Amino acid sequence: MKDNIFLLCDQIRETSYALHCHLRHGHVEKVYENGLSNRLRKQTLQVLQQHPLNVYDEDGSLLGEFFSDLFVEGRLIVELKACRALADEHLAQLLGYMRTSHIEHGMLINFGSPRIEIHKYVLSEL
């Protein structure tokens, strides 16, 4: 099962790179969200856009929800950016989403620079 998530991430990396080669940088985030969703769905992946995920407190109490840019195959949060460079707060946002929604795997992708930035993160109980 773990190997499958890494294959899924490789597929998203390759698809993101191809989309960036086609569109380049300079569009708003929504264009990249729609483009990546479209291409991943054509590959028969389940992709939900702006999907609500619950945020839980440490005792399991429901605190609210956030909206993931993409939620892929029911197990991977993909946060997209279209900015000059990723900042610490972008990573903090993704890790916070992962931690509080109990989703172990996440990706942070920035389409906004001339060179695409793609990062994969895993939360684990070590």
The domains of the chain are located at 2-122
* Alpha carbon distance 1, 46 (integer Å): 17
The whole-number pLDDT of residue 44 equals: 98
Res 1 pLDDT > 50 = no
pLDDT, tens digit (0-9, with 9 covering 90-100), for 15-72: 999 999 999 999 999 999 999 999 999 999 999 999 999 988 889 999 999 999 999 9
Burial (Cβ within 10 Å: 0-12, 13-18, ≥19) of residue 92: exposed
pLDDT, tens digit (0-9, with 9 covering 90-100), for 66-91: 999 999 999 999 999 999 999 999 99
CATH number for region 2-122:
3.90.320.10
- The answer to whether the pTM exceeds 0.85 is yes
The whole-number pLDDT of residue 73 equals: 97
